[in-house]
């Protein structure tokens, strides 16, 4: 779907959309006779609500839609854009023009957020569907936003963020026979023309560095692990201290020897959602030429249960030198992350490190699919992430850390074990990761297990991969790390 901005409407529009604020129906243009339809539908401009009809306009029958934009703030406009595309995408409409006069003065930032929401909601993955019914195929080709205000600069930025979200969704949605550690790296080669520098470690190089925790997870699979670093530097300083993002990239998770139940295991193709979010964030930052230095690290493995797989009770030695008793091979993400975090700190010397991971089922018990869990050693970083999530539409909720929780992962035979007891599973997982954070480094762990995949459509996504994390991290960089 093409999105464009125009000072006047094209005559090719087969659908006319009028943005209406809450209780603003009386402001409709006089030539649009939809007041009775709005009254019968009890439409009052509530954000995301629609009234649809057909009318003869300039001698042609056209689809006419009243689109509720609430108070016409940025978040309302984004939600409205998503609702509009959800209605029109497969409706038979080809070109829709959106008019804002009836909504009163609307800022360029708000108009572009409507386009942003519409663009995100239009994304789908149909490449494997060879017999899609005609009425389920997308028809909407163009969305034209008719406005006198200049939106080009703001849209240039937001459209690149949208591309980052779509790149993450693509990685997360692909099946595990298509996306595995080596092919994940190859997909990310598409970032190199944008100016992103890629560094890749293979199994031998990771073994030489002592990454026994990550390699222990990978040893049961014929798919070889990879460590991927993606670096974007939009500053004039080659030695600028980078923000480092680390993503869990378990491209398929059977649970290993501690195997998962068969029902629902197909969903574990998205256990690399943290790595997907990091890759999408680098795509967004490079696309919009962010004036910051950011490094994204992805620890990429497949967790399988063959005769060479690690066993419950095995002890592995991490790159940091700390030893780990593997109580449960299905608590593998933290084993991948700890070596990725150690390597990231060793090579890039960050002041701030943020990891994202589909780490625990316990976070869904606590937060369902409404927030990601946030754990951090720095209050200011917590505040910045919370604010960025709220404004960008990727919300987080902070959880506690503490010595009592940390003691729950002490092992009688090694430095630590990879799981605690039955309770506080998300917190003890975070405490595990905290043991691998160097002194003085500001660190945040974001457990996104409830956010990367949706069982039903949302305001700006279809059922499936959501692209969670890209908007959050892009906004954080814009607010806190750009020069």
| 334 part of the active site | yes
* Pairing mode of beta strands 464-465, 453-454: antiparallel
Q: What is the DSSP letter of 59?
A: T
CA angle (10, 12, 16) in 5-degree steps: 75
| Set 260, 291, 398, 435: catalytic member | 260
Q: How many residues does the chain have?
A: 483
- 158 to 202, 243, 289: CA distances (angstroms): 35, 21, 12
Residue among 40, 47, 50 nearest 18 (CA): 50
Can you tell me the distance from the alpha carbon of 382 to that of 354, in angstroms, rounded to the nearest whole number? 11
Q: Name residue, tokens 């029958």.
A: 61
Nearby residues of 128 by Cβ (< 8 Å), 6 or more positions away = none
Structure tokens at 288: 């919009």
Q: What residues pair up with 226 in beta bridges, in sequence order?
A: 300
CB 230 within 8 A of CB 188: yes
Can you tell me the distance from the alpha carbon of 224 to that of 341, in angstroms, rounded to the nearest whole number? 20
Can you tell me the distance from the alpha carbon of 441 to that of 233, in angstroms, rounded to the nearest whole number? 20
Helix, coil or strand: residue 253: strand
Residue among 413, 418, 442 nearest 430 (CA): 418
* Pairing mode of beta strands 323-325, 416-417: parallel
User: Which ranges of 2-104 does DSSP label H, i.e. alpha helix?
Assistant: 35-40, 74-88
Q: Name residue, tokens 């998770």.
A: 253
Helix, coil or strand: residue 325: strand
| Set 121, 269, 334, 475: catalytic member | 334
- What's the farthest any 2 CA atoms get from each other in the chain? 83
| 269 part of the active site | no
Q: How many CB atoms lie within 10 A of CB 71?
A: 13
- 64 to 17, 27, 138, 255, 452: CA distances (angstroms): 6, 16, 19, 52, 35
- 93 to 66, 111, 117, 464: CA distances (angstroms): 15, 21, 18, 24
CB 107 within 8 A of CB 113: no
Spatial strand order in the sheet of 416-417: 315-317, 323-325, 416-417
Active site residues: 260, 334
């Amino acid at each position: 779907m093409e999105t464009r901005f125009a000072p006047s409407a094209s005559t090719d529009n087969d659908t006319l959309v009028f943005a209406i604020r809450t209780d603003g129906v009386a402001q409709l243009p006089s030539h649009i006779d939809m007041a009775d339809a709005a009254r019968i539908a009890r439409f009052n401009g509530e954000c995301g609500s629609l009234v649809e009809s057909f009318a003869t306009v300039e001698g042609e029958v056209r689809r006419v839609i009243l689109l509720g934009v609430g108070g016409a703030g940025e978040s309302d406009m984004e939600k409205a854009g998503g609702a509009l595309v959800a209605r029109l995408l497969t409706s038979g409409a080809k070109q829709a023009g959106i008019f804002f006069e009836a909504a009163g003065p609307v800022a360029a930032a708000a108009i572009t957020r409507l386009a942003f929401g519409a663009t995100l909601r239009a994304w789908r993955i149909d490449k494997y569907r060879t017999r899609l019914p005609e009425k389920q195929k997308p028809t909407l080709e163009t969305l034209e936003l008719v406005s006198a205000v200049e939106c080009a600069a703001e849209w240039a930025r937001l459209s690149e963020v949208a591309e980052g979200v779509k790149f993450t969704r693509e990685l997360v949605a692909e099946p595990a026979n298509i996306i595995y550690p080596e092919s994940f790296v190859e997909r990310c080669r598409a970032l190199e023309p944008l100016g992103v520098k890629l560094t890749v470690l293979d199994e031998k190089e990771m073994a030489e560095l002592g990454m026994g925790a990550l390699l222990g997870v990978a040893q049961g699979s014929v798919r070889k692990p990879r460590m991927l670093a993606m670096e974007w530097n939009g500053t004039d300083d080659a030695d600028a201290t980078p923000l480092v993002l680390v993503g869990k990239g378990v491209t398929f998770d059977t649970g290993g020897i501690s195997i998962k139940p068969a029902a629902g295991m197909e969903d574990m193709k998205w256990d690399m959602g943290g790595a997907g979010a990091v890759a999408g964030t680098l795509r967004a930052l490079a696309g919009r030429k962010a004036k910051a230095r950011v490094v994204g690290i992805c620890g990429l493995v497949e967790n399988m249960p063959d005769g060479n797989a690690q066993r419950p009770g095995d002890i592995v030695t991490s790159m940091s030198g700390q030893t780990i008793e593997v109580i449960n091979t299905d608590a593998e993400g933290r084993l991948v992350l700890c070596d990725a975090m150690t390597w990231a700190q060793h090579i890039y010397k960050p002041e701030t490190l943020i990891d994202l991971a589909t780490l625990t089922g316990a976070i869904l018990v606590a937060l369902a699919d409404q927030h990601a869990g946030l754990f951090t050693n720095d209050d200011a970083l917590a505040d910045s992430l919370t604010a960025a999530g709220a404004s960008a539409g990727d919300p987080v909720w902070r959880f506690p850390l503490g010595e009592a929780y940390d003691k729950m992962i002490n092992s009688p035979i090694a430095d630590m074990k990879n799981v605690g007891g039955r309770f506080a599973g998300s917190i003890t997982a975070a405490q595990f990761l905290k043991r691998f954070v160097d002194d003085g480094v500001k660190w945040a762990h974001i457990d996104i297990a409830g956010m990367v995949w949706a069982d039903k459509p949302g305001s700006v996504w279809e059922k499936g991969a959501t692209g969670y994390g890209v908007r959050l991290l892009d906004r954080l960089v814009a607010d806190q790390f750009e020069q």
